[in-house]
């Protein structure tokens, strides 16, 4: 390990605690989620040039015109998905660099994740393997279609903003499943929690958020 890398490692123990405290102050309550925010080495999900800023509570660029999600939003979404979660399998749409995937992975049995940029997916698959995360299955493709093969899913988490609720994702949610998804145009998105009760879908708005769009096709 180089001195620079060690330096980052040393500051990050303190800076990670500071990040966790900040999320606590902002209302994140799940100790399991907060522990994951502390554990997951977010500096390994961004370019080395941005590593020193990895524990700030903000989104950062990761290339391909995409971003790594803000820790608060990742914590909020994970907490909302898992509160009252019954089951095992989660479908994730918008893998990106895999930070959300890594935070969620130890808290559920299995994640199926779909990303439309194959190059990003390839790097992320390797990154998660390097972090000893093995309960994730990856697929390049269009998230609007979901991933019917392994459905229905007990949870669905969408990390790009959809213009409206994707019908195919609703149909891939199990009878008591939960879905967390940002809905709306750029700059005006609501983080929605959709809870399925057999044929009924209950929707509540959790927060205002800002995501890159869930692109069509």
Site string for ligand SAH, 133-162 (x = CB under 6 A): ---------xxx--------------xx--
Residue 174: helix, strand or coil by DSSP?
strand
69 included as an active-site residue: yes
Residue 172 touches ligand SAH, criterion: CB under 6 A = no
Among residues 93, 105, 169, 180, the one that binds ligand SAH under rule CB under 6 A: 93
* List 55, 99, 138, 153, residue binding ligand SAH (CB under 6 A): 99
CA distances from 175 to 31, 110, 125, 204 (A): 27, 18, 30, 18
User: CB-based contacts of 111: which residues, under 8 Å, 6+ apart?
Assistant: 89, 90, 91, 92, 101, 104, 105, 135, 136, 137
Q: Could you write out the DSSP letters of every residue in 104-144?
A: HGGGSSEEEEEES-HHHHHHHHHHHHHTT--SEEEEES-GG
Bridge partners, residue 182, by sequence: 191
Among 43, 76, 116, 178, binds ligand SAH (CB under 6 A): 116
Could you tell me the smallest distance in angstroms from the CB atom of residue 4 to ligand SAH?
Answer: 24
Shortest distance (Å) from residue 199 CB to ligand SAH = 26
Please answer whether residues 67 and 212 qualify as being in contact, where contact means their C-beta atoms are separated by less than 8 angstroms.
yes
Side by side, the strands of the sheet bearing 136-140 are: 136-140, 110-115, 89-93, 153-158, 173-183, 189-197, 200-209
Q: Which is nearer to ligand SAH, 176 or 190 (CB)?
A: 190
Told to check if 182 binds ligand SAH by CB under 6 A, we report no
Q: Which range, of 32-40, 81-89, 97-105, 185-193, touches ligand SAH by CB under 6 A?
A: 97-105
Backbone angles phi, psi at 199, to 5 degrees: -90, 0
Residue closer to ligand SAH (CB basis): 73 or 194: 73
> Applying CB under 6 A, which part among 8-16, 83-91, 115-123, 197-205 lies near ligand SAH?
115-123
Indicate whether 67 belongs to the interface with ligand SAH (CB under 6 A).
yes
Q: Which residues are catalytic?
A: 69
């Amino acid at each position: 390990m180089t001195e620079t890398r060690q330096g980052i490692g040393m500051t990050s123990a303190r800076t990670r605690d500071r990040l966790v405290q900040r999320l606590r102050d902002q209302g994140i309550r799940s100790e399991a989620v907060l522990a994951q925010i502390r554990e997951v080495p977010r500096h390994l999900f961004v370019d080395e040039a941005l590593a020193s800023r990895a524990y700030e509570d903000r989104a950062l660029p990761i290339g391909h015109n995409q971003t790594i999600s803000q820790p608060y939003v990742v914590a909020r979404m994970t907490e909302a998905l898992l509160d009252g979660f019954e089951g095992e399998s989660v479908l994730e749409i918008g893998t990106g660099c895999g930070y959300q995937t890594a935070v969620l992975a130890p808290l559920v049995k299995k994640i199926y994740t779909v990303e439309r940029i194959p190059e990003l997916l390839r790097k992320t698959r390797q990154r998660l393997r390097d972090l000893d995360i093995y309960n994730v299955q990856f697929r390049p493709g269009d998230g609007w279609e979901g991933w019917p093969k392994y459905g229905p899913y007990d949870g669905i988490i969408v990390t790009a903003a959809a213009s409206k609720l994707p019908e195919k994702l609703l149909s891939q949610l199990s009878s008591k499943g939960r879905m967390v998804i940002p809905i709306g145009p750029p700059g005006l998105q609501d983080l929605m929690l959709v809870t399925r009760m057999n044929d009924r879908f209950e929707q509540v708005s959790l927060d205002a958020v800002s995501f890159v769009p869930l692109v069509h096709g």
